[in-house]
């Protein structure tokens, strides 16, 4: 079921919130309620790079800008981006302006019509990247914003392009398993009934590299829908909780912006003898929180210098005493086979081969 985004709908959840709740309800809840800081310099660089690419798509769609014009426009916009992040924005875009200019203007060596651009982030009206899907009346409307949706020769196939400006590498397997593209496929199939296949490709802008195309097919729509509905169930079950559960997992915790507020970090230290699995879960979230605190302390030190705690007589900085060298601890070791062409230094009474003839 689809509903226009212009209708008044109060119960709406976006892709990123849904995905975060599904990974760990506490993390999703803390971010949604603004209890943790999610802004970072990396987010700002990514946002700026995405804005530059969106402006270029708009220039192609509205004015029919040529490949050369688009490329020049993107390079100029990157040079003129915010002075504090300009070098990183240029690095984050890498060689993607040339690739995107080619993508927007040509297909299989032929000139591409500008109206092949069906939707894009920053587009207006029915060209907007934002898509919506209403699974049931008692469930929130689900939204997601695609970077670029292009038509192909056939109404039955659409090309979905997504820009990633970070340092993560996206293989075909990563794309195929991604919740993001599973959800985008559900949104696209709901909005374009004639579409049978969505070809998803990721442009890793920093590496000027495109992932292989991964096909999301309508024949598997029930699998994609079930996955999104299961995430929606988690969201609906926990969004109004006073304290939603936290689900530690090494990969999730190490990038979690809510790790220092996590119940596993703030609760009592678990006794491994009582519950080894729970102890391990707490260890994972504690390590994530420690890493984040250490990096926050380094950031503070870079700006303000050494951090001192008079009460505890401890400091954080680079002036600490050099670590003591440990005395060698005797232990078993393997004896290396002697090379007959090399003399052995028998004076030392051991089996180390000597390089000097
Ligand atoms: S640290 Fe891990 S368990 Fe805790 S909120 Fe974050 S993702 Fe969830």
**In this structure, are 133 and 232 located in the same domain?**
yes
Compute, in angstroms, the gap from residue 352 CA to the centroid of ligand 1.
50
Residue 263 lies in a domain: yes
Atom of ligand 1 nearest to the CA of 248: 3
Residue 317 lies in a domain: no
Taking the C-alpha atoms of residue 74 and residue 298, their distance in angstroms, rounded to an integer, is 34
Atom of ligand 1 nearest to the CA of 264: 4
**In this structure, are 81 and 199 located in the same domain?**
no
Residue 321 lies in a domain: no
259 lines ligand 1 (CB under 6 A): yes
292 lines ligand 1 (CB under 6 A): no
Last residue of a domain, one of 241, 267, 291: 241
pLDDT at 335 over 80: no
What is the CATH number for 231? 3.90.320
Atom of ligand 1 nearest to the CA of 247: 3
pLDDT at 344 over 80: no
pLDDT at 109 over 50: yes
> Any idea which of 2-6, 96-100, 280-284, 344-348 has the lowest mean pLDDT?
344-348
Atom of ligand 1 nearest to the CA of 24: 8
**In this structure, are 6 and 74 located in the same domain?**
no
Confidence of residue 357 (pLDDT cuts 50, 70, 90): very low
Q: Which residue has the higher pLDDT, 3 or 152?
A: 152
**In this structure, are 156 and 188 located in the same domain?**
yes
pLDDT (average), residues 330-351: 57
Residue 316 lies in a domain: no
Retrieve residue 254's tokens.
């190490």
**In this structure, are 130 and 150 located in the same domain?**
yes
pLDDT of residue 337: 67
Retrieve residue 8's tokens.
């008044």
Compute, in angstroms, the gap from residue 232 CA to the centroid of ligand 1.
19
Residue 223 lies in a domain: yes
**In this structure, are 52 and 182 located in the same domain?**
no
> Any idea which of 69-73, 80-84, 213-217, 295-299 has the lowest mean pLDDT?
295-299
- Rounded percentage of the chain residues whose pLDDT exceeds 90: 63
Last residue of a domain, one of 86, 112, 138: 112
pLDDT of residue 33: 93
* Beta carbons within 10 angstroms of residue 26's beta carbon: 25
Contact 22, 236 (CB under 8 A): no
264 lines ligand 1 (CB under 6 A): yes
Give 206-215 pLDDT, tens digit per residue. Answer: 999 999 999 9
256 lines ligand 1 (CB under 6 A): yes
Give 223-241 pLDDT, tens digit per residue. Answer: 999 999 999 999 999 999 9
Last residue of a domain, one of 197, 219, 241: 241
Residue from 245, 262, 284 to probe ligand 1 pocket by mutation (most atoms less than 8 Å from CB): 262
Domain span at residue 272 reads: 252-303
Taking the C-alpha atoms of residue 77 and residue 74, their distance in angstroms, rounded to an integer, is 5
**In this structure, are 68 and 165 located in the same domain?**
no
246 lines ligand 1 (CB under 6 A): yes
**In this structure, are 23 and 122 located in the same domain?**
yes
Residue 327 lies in a domain: no
> Dihedral sign, CA of 140, 141, 142, 144?
negative
pLDDT of residue 9: 60
**In this structure, are 46 and 182 located in the same domain?**
no
26 lines ligand 1 (CB under 6 A): yes
Atom of ligand 1 nearest to the CA of 30: 5
**In this structure, are 230 and 284 located in the same domain?**
no
**In this structure, are 234 and 257 located in the same domain?**
no
42 alpha carbon, distance to own chain's centre: 11
**In this structure, are 127 and 186 located in the same domain?**
yes
288 lines ligand 1 (CB under 6 A): yes
Question: Which residue's CA is minimally distant from atom 4 of ligand 1?
Answer: 262
What's the whole-number average pLDDT of the chain? Answer: 88
Compute, in angstroms, the gap from residue 278 CA to the centroid of ligand 1.
13
Atom of ligand 1 nearest to the CA of 249: 2
Residue 53 lies in a domain: yes
Confidence of residue 356 (pLDDT cuts 50, 70, 90): very low
Residue 290 lies in a domain: yes
48: exposed, middle or buried (C-beta count within 10 Å: 0-12, 13-18, 19+)?
buried
Count of the separate structural domains present in the chain: 3
* pTM score: 0.80
248 lines ligand 1 (CB under 6 A): yes
pLDDT at 284 over 50: yes
89 lines ligand 1 (CB under 6 A): no
Give 129-161 pLDDT, tens digit per residue. Answer: 999 999 987 889 999 999 999 999 999 999 999
């Amino acid at each position: 079921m689809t509903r226009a985004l212009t209708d008044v709908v109060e119960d709406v959840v976006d892709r990123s919130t849904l995905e975060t709740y599904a990974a760990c309800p506490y993390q999703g809840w803390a971010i949604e309620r603004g209890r943790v800081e999610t802004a970072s310099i990396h987010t700002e660089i990514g946002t700026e790079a995405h804005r530059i690419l969106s402006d270029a798509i708009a220039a192609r769609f509205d004015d029919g800008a040529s490949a050369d014009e688009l490329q020049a426009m993107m390079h100029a916009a990157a040079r003129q981006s915010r002075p504090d992040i300009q070098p990183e924005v240029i690095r984050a875009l890498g060689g993607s302006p040339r690739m995107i200019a080619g993508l927007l203007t040509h297909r299989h060596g032929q000139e591409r019509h500008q109206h092949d651009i069906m939707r894009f982030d920053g587009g207006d009206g029915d060209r907007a990247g934002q898509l919506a899907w209403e699974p049931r009346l008692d469930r929130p409307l689900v939204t997601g914003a695609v970077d670029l949706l292009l038509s192909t020769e056939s109404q039955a196939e659409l090309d979905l392009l997504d820009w990633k400006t970070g340092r993560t590498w996206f293989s075909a397997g990563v794309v195929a398993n991604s919740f993001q593209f599973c959800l985008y496929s559900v949104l696209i199939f709901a909005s374009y009934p004639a579409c049978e296949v969505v070809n998803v490709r990721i442009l890793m802008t920093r590496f000027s590299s495109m992932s292989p195309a991964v096909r999301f097919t309508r024949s598997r729509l029930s699998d994609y829908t079930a996955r999104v509905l299961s995430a929606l169930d988690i969201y609906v079950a926990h969004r109004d909780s006073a304290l939603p559960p936290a689900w530690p997992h090494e990969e999730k915790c190490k990038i979690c912006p809510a790790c220092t507020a996590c119940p596993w970090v703030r609760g009592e230290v678990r006794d491994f003898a009582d519950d080894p699995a729970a102890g391990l879960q707490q260890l994972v979230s504690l390590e994530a929180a420690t890493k984040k605190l250490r990096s926050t302390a380094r950031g503070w030190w870079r700006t303000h210098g050494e951090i001192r705690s008079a009460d505890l007589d401890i400091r954080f900085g680079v002036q600490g005493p050099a670590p003591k060298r440990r005395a060698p601890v005797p232990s078993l070791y393997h004896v290396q086979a002697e090379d007959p062409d090399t003399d052995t230094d028998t004076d030392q009474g051991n089996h180390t081969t000597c390089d000097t003839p």
